[in-house]
Amino acid sequence: KRWPQCKVQAPLEGVFEAQAGFIHVERAISGICALAQSAGAILRYPEKVTAIDLAQTVTVRTDRGVYEASRLVVTAGAWMQAMLPQLQMKLQIQKAPVFWLKPLERDRQLPCFAFTDHGRFIYGFPSLGEGIKIAEYASTEILLKAEDKPQQATDAEWEKVRQGVHAYFAEGDKLRLMKTGVCMYTMTKDENFLIDFLPGYSNLVVGGGGSGHAFKFSPFIGEELANMIQGKKSEFDLSFLRHRV
Protein backbone atom coordinates (compact mmCIF):
# COMPACT_ATOMS: atom_id res chain seq x y z
CA LYS A 1 0.00 0.00 0.00
CA ARG A 2 2.83 2.40 0.79
CA TRP A 3 4.57 1.85 -2.55
CA PRO A 4 1.90 0.64 -4.96
CA GLN A 5 4.34 0.93 -7.86
CA CYS A 6 6.08 -2.21 -6.56
CA LYS A 7 4.34 -5.40 -7.66
CA VAL A 8 4.74 -8.09 -5.01
CA GLN A 9 2.72 -11.17 -5.89
CA ALA A 10 2.67 -14.66 -4.38
CA PRO A 11 4.90 -16.47 -3.72
CA LEU A 12 6.99 -13.32 -3.17
CA GLU A 13 7.00 -11.74 0.29
CA GLY A 14 8.14 -8.25 1.16
CA VAL A 15 10.48 -7.00 3.88
CA PHE A 16 10.81 -3.30 4.76
CA GLU A 17 13.95 -2.13 6.58
CA ALA A 18 13.33 1.40 7.89
CA GLN A 19 17.02 2.00 8.71
CA ALA A 20 18.35 0.85 5.35
CA GLY A 21 19.59 3.38 2.82
CA PHE A 22 22.31 4.13 0.32
CA ILE A 23 25.52 6.11 0.12
CA HIS A 24 26.11 9.03 -2.25
CA VAL A 25 29.36 7.67 -3.66
CA GLU A 26 30.86 10.88 -5.01
CA ARG A 27 30.03 12.82 -1.85
CA ALA A 28 31.46 10.06 0.33
CA ILE A 29 34.72 9.92 -1.63
CA SER A 30 35.05 13.72 -1.56
CA GLY A 31 34.52 13.70 2.19
CA ILE A 32 37.05 10.92 2.79
CA CYS A 33 39.64 12.68 0.61
CA ALA A 34 39.09 15.96 2.47
CA LEU A 35 39.57 14.20 5.82
CA ALA A 36 42.75 12.54 4.54
CA GLN A 37 44.15 15.86 3.37
CA SER A 38 43.35 17.50 6.68
CA ALA A 39 45.39 14.72 8.34
CA GLY A 40 48.39 15.45 6.09
CA ALA A 41 47.80 13.14 3.13
CA ILE A 42 48.97 14.32 -0.31
CA LEU A 43 46.60 13.34 -3.12
CA ARG A 44 47.94 13.14 -6.67
CA TYR A 45 45.47 12.72 -9.51
CA PRO A 46 44.99 12.07 -12.30
CA GLU A 47 48.24 10.11 -12.19
CA LYS A 48 48.57 6.63 -13.68
CA VAL A 49 50.73 4.00 -11.98
CA THR A 50 52.84 2.21 -14.60
CA ALA A 51 54.87 -0.16 -12.41
CA ILE A 52 55.57 -1.19 -8.82
CA ASP A 53 59.08 -2.47 -8.05
CA LEU A 54 59.42 -4.48 -4.86
CA ALA A 55 62.56 -4.81 -2.75
CA GLN A 56 63.52 -3.61 0.75
CA THR A 57 62.04 -0.32 -0.36
CA VAL A 58 59.04 -0.03 -2.66
CA THR A 59 59.30 1.99 -5.88
CA VAL A 60 56.13 3.24 -7.57
CA ARG A 61 56.51 4.48 -11.13
CA THR A 62 53.83 6.69 -12.67
CA ASP A 63 53.36 8.70 -15.83
CA ARG A 64 54.49 11.76 -13.85
CA GLY A 65 57.32 10.58 -11.65
CA VAL A 66 58.93 7.99 -9.37
CA TYR A 67 58.18 7.54 -5.68
CA GLU A 68 59.94 5.45 -3.04
CA ALA A 69 58.65 4.28 0.32
CA SER A 70 59.46 1.70 2.96
CA ARG A 71 55.89 0.37 2.92
CA LEU A 72 52.95 0.49 0.54
CA VAL A 73 49.20 -0.20 0.48
CA VAL A 74 47.66 -1.03 -2.91
CA THR A 75 43.89 -0.78 -3.50
CA ALA A 76 43.78 -0.84 -7.29
CA GLY A 77 40.37 -2.39 -7.90
CA ALA A 78 40.03 -3.94 -11.34
CA TRP A 79 43.68 -3.07 -12.09
CA MET A 80 45.03 -5.04 -9.10
CA GLN A 81 46.01 -8.23 -10.93
CA ALA A 82 47.78 -6.36 -13.75
CA MET A 83 49.57 -4.05 -11.32
CA LEU A 84 50.75 -6.88 -9.05
CA PRO A 85 51.49 -10.03 -11.09
CA GLN A 86 52.96 -11.53 -7.90
CA LEU A 87 49.41 -11.80 -6.56
CA GLN A 88 48.71 -15.52 -6.22
CA MET A 89 44.97 -15.19 -5.72
CA LYS A 90 42.82 -15.06 -8.85
CA LEU A 91 40.69 -11.94 -9.21
CA GLN A 92 38.18 -11.81 -12.05
CA ILE A 93 36.90 -8.58 -13.57
CA GLN A 94 33.17 -8.90 -14.10
CA LYS A 95 31.19 -6.57 -16.31
CA ALA A 96 28.24 -5.04 -14.43
CA PRO A 97 25.68 -3.26 -16.64
CA VAL A 98 23.51 -0.56 -15.03
CA PHE A 99 20.43 1.25 -16.32
CA TRP A 100 18.56 4.48 -15.60
CA LEU A 101 14.80 4.72 -16.11
CA LYS A 102 12.66 7.82 -16.40
CA PRO A 103 10.48 7.83 -13.27
CA LEU A 104 6.76 8.34 -13.20
CA GLU A 105 5.50 11.06 -10.86
CA ARG A 106 4.77 8.70 -7.97
CA ASP A 107 8.17 7.03 -8.32
CA ARG A 108 9.86 10.10 -6.85
CA GLN A 109 9.20 8.69 -3.36
CA LEU A 110 10.45 5.21 -4.24
CA PRO A 111 12.83 3.67 -1.65
CA CYS A 112 15.85 1.53 -2.38
CA PHE A 113 14.57 -1.83 -3.53
CA ALA A 114 15.62 -5.37 -4.29
CA PHE A 115 13.71 -8.31 -5.74
CA THR A 116 14.93 -11.87 -5.71
CA ASP A 117 13.03 -14.64 -7.47
CA HIS A 118 14.03 -17.83 -9.29
CA GLY A 119 17.72 -17.14 -8.73
CA ARG A 120 17.57 -13.55 -10.00
CA PHE A 121 18.51 -10.52 -7.90
CA ILE A 122 17.39 -7.16 -9.28
CA TYR A 123 18.01 -4.05 -7.22
CA GLY A 124 17.87 -0.31 -7.58
CA PHE A 125 17.77 3.18 -6.13
CA PRO A 126 15.28 6.05 -6.27
CA SER A 127 15.74 8.85 -8.76
CA LEU A 128 18.17 11.55 -7.60
CA GLY A 129 17.74 13.59 -10.75
CA GLU A 130 19.24 11.08 -13.17
CA GLY A 131 16.39 8.57 -13.11
CA ILE A 132 15.76 5.30 -11.27
CA LYS A 133 19.01 3.34 -11.24
CA ILE A 134 18.49 -0.40 -11.64
CA ALA A 135 20.70 -3.43 -12.26
CA GLU A 136 20.86 -7.17 -11.85
CA TYR A 137 23.46 -8.72 -9.57
CA ALA A 138 24.47 -11.72 -11.65
CA SER A 139 27.40 -13.47 -13.26
CA THR A 140 27.97 -11.74 -16.56
CA GLU A 141 30.78 -11.30 -19.07
CA ILE A 142 34.32 -11.61 -17.70
CA LEU A 143 36.77 -8.95 -18.88
CA LEU A 144 40.41 -9.91 -19.44
CA LYS A 145 41.58 -6.45 -18.36
CA ALA A 146 39.98 -3.28 -17.04
CA GLU A 147 40.66 -1.42 -20.26
CA ASP A 148 38.24 -3.77 -22.05
CA LYS A 149 35.26 -2.24 -20.23
CA PRO A 150 32.68 -0.88 -22.71
CA GLN A 151 30.92 2.40 -22.02
CA GLN A 152 27.39 1.16 -22.67
CA ALA A 153 25.33 -1.94 -21.90
CA THR A 154 24.09 -4.13 -24.75
CA ASP A 155 20.49 -4.53 -25.91
CA ALA A 156 20.54 -8.14 -24.68
CA GLU A 157 21.62 -7.03 -21.19
CA TRP A 158 18.85 -4.44 -21.09
CA GLU A 159 16.29 -7.02 -22.20
CA LYS A 160 17.10 -9.21 -19.17
CA VAL A 161 16.62 -6.31 -16.77
CA ARG A 162 13.57 -5.03 -18.67
CA GLN A 163 11.85 -8.34 -17.99
CA GLY A 164 12.46 -7.79 -14.28
CA VAL A 165 11.12 -4.24 -14.48
CA HIS A 166 7.90 -5.56 -16.04
CA ALA A 167 7.67 -8.36 -13.47
CA TYR A 168 8.22 -6.28 -10.35
CA PHE A 169 6.74 -2.85 -11.16
CA ALA A 170 3.00 -2.30 -11.57
CA GLU A 171 3.57 0.13 -14.44
CA GLY A 172 6.85 -1.30 -15.64
CA ASP A 173 5.81 -0.96 -19.27
CA LYS A 174 5.68 2.83 -18.80
CA LEU A 175 9.20 3.16 -17.40
CA ARG A 176 11.37 4.31 -20.29
CA LEU A 177 15.10 3.64 -20.55
CA MET A 178 17.07 6.90 -20.31
CA LYS A 179 20.68 5.71 -20.47
CA THR A 180 22.94 2.78 -19.71
CA GLY A 181 26.41 2.35 -18.28
CA VAL A 182 28.87 -0.32 -17.22
CA CYS A 183 30.59 -0.79 -13.87
CA MET A 184 33.21 -3.39 -12.97
CA TYR A 185 33.19 -5.88 -10.12
CA THR A 186 36.52 -7.34 -9.03
CA MET A 187 35.39 -10.80 -7.99
CA THR A 188 36.99 -13.35 -5.69
CA LYS A 189 35.93 -16.98 -5.96
CA ASP A 190 33.99 -16.88 -2.68
CA GLU A 191 32.93 -13.21 -3.08
CA ASN A 192 34.70 -12.23 0.16
CA PHE A 193 37.23 -9.39 0.10
CA LEU A 194 41.01 -9.70 0.02
CA ILE A 195 42.87 -7.92 2.84
CA ASP A 196 46.37 -9.28 3.27
CA PHE A 197 50.10 -8.85 2.72
CA LEU A 198 51.31 -9.66 -0.76
CA PRO A 199 52.69 -13.22 -0.50
CA GLY A 200 56.42 -13.10 0.21
CA TYR A 201 56.47 -9.40 1.14
CA SER A 202 56.13 -7.80 4.55
CA ASN A 203 56.12 -4.23 3.24
CA LEU A 204 53.13 -4.34 0.87
CA VAL A 205 49.48 -4.77 1.83
CA VAL A 206 46.70 -5.27 -0.70
CA GLY A 207 43.01 -4.52 -0.37
CA GLY A 208 40.68 -5.64 -3.16
CA GLY A 209 38.30 -8.23 -4.47
CA GLY A 210 35.31 -6.13 -3.46
CA SER A 211 33.00 -8.46 -5.43
CA GLY A 212 30.37 -5.77 -5.91
CA HIS A 213 29.62 -5.11 -2.23
CA ALA A 214 32.70 -3.49 -0.66
CA PHE A 215 32.12 0.26 -0.92
CA LYS A 216 29.96 0.54 2.17
CA PHE A 217 32.76 -1.13 4.15
CA SER A 218 35.43 1.31 2.93
CA PRO A 219 36.08 3.02 6.30
CA PHE A 220 36.55 -0.35 8.01
CA ILE A 221 38.71 -1.77 5.21
CA GLY A 222 40.87 1.36 5.16
CA GLU A 223 41.41 1.22 8.90
CA GLU A 224 42.37 -2.45 8.76
CA LEU A 225 44.83 -1.87 5.89
CA ALA A 226 46.40 1.01 7.82
CA ASN A 227 46.73 -1.17 10.93
CA MET A 228 48.33 -3.99 8.97
CA ILE A 229 50.94 -1.86 7.23
CA GLN A 230 51.86 -0.28 10.59
CA GLY A 231 52.18 -3.65 12.29
CA LYS A 232 49.18 -3.10 14.55
CA LYS A 233 47.02 -6.05 15.52
CA SER A 234 43.38 -6.05 14.49
CA GLU A 235 40.68 -6.62 17.09
CA PHE A 236 38.84 -8.74 14.53
CA ASP A 237 39.51 -12.18 13.08
CA LEU A 238 40.09 -11.43 9.39
CA SER A 239 41.64 -14.78 8.50
CA PHE A 240 38.80 -15.47 6.05
CA LEU A 241 39.88 -12.39 4.08
CA ARG A 242 43.50 -13.55 3.65
CA HIS A 243 44.87 -15.06 0.44
CA ARG A 244 42.86 -18.01 -0.80
CA VAL A 245 43.74 -20.12 -3.83
How does pLDDT run across 159-180, given as a tens digit for each residue? 999 999 998 888 888 899 999 9
| Amino acid 31: pLDDT | 95
Q: Is the dihedral of CA 24, 149, 206, 52 positive or negative?
A: negative
For 121-137, what is each residue's pLDDT tens digit?
999 999 888 899 999 98
Q: For residue 95, what are the β-bridge partners? A: 184
Q: Give the pLDDT band of residue 60 (cuts 50, 70, 90).
A: very high
Sequence letter at residue 134: I
| Three-state DSSP state, 239 | helix
Distances (CA, A) of 11 to 15, 112, 113, 122: 13, 21, 18, 17
- pLDDT category at 151 given cuts 50, 70, 90 is very high
Using a cut of 0.85, tell me whether the model's pTM lies above it: yes
12-58 pLDDT, tens digit each: 788 889 898 889 999 999 999 999 999 999 999 899 999 999 998 99
